[in-house]
Structure 1
Amino acid sequence: MALQSTSHSRLFIPALAPVYTSTHEIVETILRVVAGVLLVTHGFGKITNPFGAVGMVESLGFYPGVFWSPLLAITEFFGGILVAIGLFTRPASFAAMIVLLVTVYFHGIVQDQGLMGAEKSILWAAIFLFFAFRGGNSHSVDARLGRTF
Structure 2
Amino acid sequence: MNSDTLNKYAPQALAVLRIATALTFMAHGTQKLFGFPASQMPGGVELLSLFGLAGILEVFGGLAILLGLFTRPVAFILAAEMAYAFWAMHVPMGGSIIPVSNGGDAAVLFCFVFLYLVFSGPGAWALDHMLGARRKTVAA
TM-score, with normalisation over the residues of structure 1? 0.70
1:9-63 CA distance string (max 9 Å, x none): xxxxxx51332121111111100011111111111122327861x5xxxxxxxxx
Of the three residues 120, 127, 136, the one matched with 1:141 is 127
Of the three residues 88, 92, 95, the one matched with 1:109 is 92
Alignment of 1:28-107 (within 5 A): 28-48=14-34, 52=45, 66-105=48-87, 106-107=89-90
Distance 1:47 1:83 in 2: 19
Judge conservation of contact 1:97–1:124 (CA < 8 Å) in 2: yes
Structure 1 runs of 4+ with >4 Å offset: none
1:69-104 CA distance string (max 9 Å, x none): 332111000110110110011122112112211221
Kindly name which structure, 1 or 2, has the bigger radius of gyration based on alpha carbons.
Answer: 1
Q: How much identity, in percent, do the aligned residues show?
A: 22
Q: Are residues 66 and 28 of structure 1, via their aligned partners in 2, closer, same or farther at CA, if it must alter by over 3 Å?
A: same
Q: 2:39 is matched with which residue?
A: none
Structure 2 runs not aligned, ≥5 long: 36-42, 136-140
Q: 1:59 is matched with which residue?
A: none
TM-score, with normalisation over the residues of structure 2? 0.74
SS at match of 2:69: coil
Matched residue count: 123
Structure number with the bigger relative contact order (C-alpha 8 A, sep ≥ 6) is 2
RMSD: 2.4
Judge conservation of contact 1:87–1:140 (CA < 8 Å) in 2: yes
- AA matched with 1:108: V
Structure 1 runs not aligned, ≥5 long: 1-14, 55-64
